[in-house]
Amino acid sequence: MPAFAGLQTLLYGLVCMYSGFRLCSTPAQFLQQLSPALSLIEKQSAQRGVQLARSDMGAGPLGFAGLALFALGYFYMMAVYTLDEKFKRNTTSGRLILAVLCYWLCVQTPNGSSLVALFGLVNLVTGVAMGFSVGWGDGNAVDLEIKERLAVRRRTAAAATPSEAKA
């Protein structure tokens, strides 16, 4: 499944970069394109008693959010480019933490909006998918796996050397 993890990380990075660029350049038009999903989220949350703010804030805050989203997408793209397995494994928990923070922001504070809820839903789905593709473990285990593979190679090389000398 590592190829699927790379593809998923690449797609997530591209979507973040595209969304960030659109939020920086034309936020009103981008929100208009997202309006069916945002209105569905607002309607569903109102039925559950959660009042979300409308996502019609000015271009300034959306520009900063777009810049942050673009930077997040850039980091994901670079992780795919550099084949960073640690980053891929750590994104599982990172995306789930982002989803929980979005949920907390929408439910516990008056600052939550349908755009934040949509971002949280995307991170929840991609975090669970990433967990199934690369695992739920710690990204630092990659170092231990590399050390173990090197130790196995050394043992097999050491075992092969005496047998070649006898022949």
3 state SS of 53: strand
Enumerate residues 6+ apart whose C-beta is below 8 A from 142.
85, 86, 89
CA-wise closest residue to 124 among 105, 98, 104: 98
Q: Give the pTM.
A: 0.69
Question: Residue 78 corresponds to which tokens in the numbers above?
Answer: 């670079």
pLDDT for the residue numbered 18 = 93
pLDDT digit string, tens, across residues 95-139: 888 888 888 888 887 777 888 888 888 988 988 888 887 777 666
Give dist(CA 158, CA 156) in Å, integer: 5
Q: Which residue has the tokens 């005496």?
A: 162
For 4-56, write each residue's pLDDT tens digit.
Answer: 778 888 898 899 999 989 888 888 888 888 888 888 888 888 887 777 766 66
